[in-house]
Amino acid sequence: MTKKNSEDIIIELKGLTKKFDENLVLDHIDAKINRSEVITLIGPSGTGKSTLIRNLNMLDTPTSGSVIVEGQDITKIKDKQLDSVREKMGMVFQSFNLFPHLNVEQNISLAPIKLGKWKESEARKKTESLLEKVGLTEKISAFPKSLSGGQAQRVAIARALAMNPDVMLFDEPTSALDPEMVGEVLKVMQKLAAEGMTMVVVTHEMGFAKNVADRVWFLDEGKIAEDAKPEQFFSHPNNPRAQEFLGKLL
Ligand code: ADP
Ligand code: MG
């Protein structure tokens, strides 16, 4: 087991603020994420979960404040430098976004080959080992349209892992799936967490939040209204909106 070192901050948010016109979605958020931590981001629809996760890798630009990744304020950099920070942060969305005209092997190996991270000669082996991780070795030559939603999402995870990221960001990775496929995707994510991957996961899967997360962040009115260990959060949340939110799930 890798010991989690509480001093090893991988992402720090300082006064992170995001407005869309007059709509203040993130309101001076200060937070720290330690290496190997798993954070689940929960809260009602429209509270800014996607906005927060998109601001972590500058997919969306903050209105003000800083996002410091491995010591570097990424709100202050652009172009090539920003690309290389983004490579360290794998992202998985609700919609799998696989390239439809490429097979599974090509979907996974395209970016690492193009960016010189993989030699073409080693791509097959590396792809196979990623597919083994997500339990899909037999699908290496399949095209996205022949995959189930759960399989496609596992390929999307493998594709993100191909860049050898330090952090994985997930925005409702199982929300578009048929219920019977949710488990296979969560299992892959749980395995990643156990291997020590730093993860930020927006999810409505409270079982995942309870069993896998180190901390739960509950978003309300532009703030992390509650930042707690899952045991604490699910047994007695302090924030009234969190209580209400959990009450509705029962
Ligand atoms: P969540 O993921 O928690 O459902 P979002 O982050 O998607 O919430 O949205 C938070 C708020 O920001 C909502 O009021 C939404 O309408 C607004 N919003 C999100 N993206 C944009 C955008 N690109 N342009 C304008 N408003 C946006
Ligand atoms: Mg969202």
Q: Considering every ligand atom, which ligand is closest to the CA of 220?
A: 1
Select from 14, 41, 38 the least CA-distant residue to 168. 38
Whole-angstrom distance, CA of residue 155 vs CA of residue 142: 11
> Atom 14 of ligand 1 has which residue's CA nearest to it?
46
Pocket test for ligand 1, best of 16, 17, 18, 20 (most atoms within 8 A of CB): 20
Quick: pLDDT tens for 59-97.
999 999 999 999 999 999 999 999 999 999 999 999 989
Ligand 1 center to residue 18 CA distance, Å? 10
Q: Considering every ligand atom, which ligand is closest to the CA of 51?
A: 1
Question: Ligand 1, closest atom to CA 53?
Answer: 6
Question: Ligand 1, closest atom to CA 18?
Answer: 12
Mean pLDDT on 203-230 = 97
Query: Which residues does a 6 A CB cutoff place in the pocket of ligand 1?
Result: 20, 23, 25, 45-51
Query: 132: Cβ–Cβ under 8 A, 6 or more apart, which residues?
Result: none
Q: Residue by residue, what is the 3-state secondary structure of the chain?
A: CCCCCCCCEEEEEEEEEEEECCEEEEEEEEEEEECCCEEEEECCCCCCHHHHHHHHCCCCCCCEEEEEECCEEHHHCCHHHHHHHHHCEEEECCCCCCCCCCCHHHHHHHHHHHCCCCCHHHHHHHHHHHHHHCCCHHHCCCCHHHCCHHHHHHHHHHHHHCCCCCEEEEECCCCCCCHHHHHHHHHHHHHHHHCCCEEEEECCCHHHHHHCCCEEEEEECCEEEEEECHHHHHHCCCCHHHHHHHHHHC
ipTM given for this complex: 0.98
Question: Ligand 1, closest atom to CA 172?
Answer: 2
Select from 200, 219, 196, 221 the least CA-distant residue to 209. 200
Tokens for 169, please give them: 């960001």
pTM for the full model?
0.95
> Atom 22 of ligand 1 has which residue's CA nearest to it?
20
Quick: pLDDT tens for 92-151.
999 989 999 999 999 999 999 999 999 999 999 999 999 999 999 999 999 999 999 999
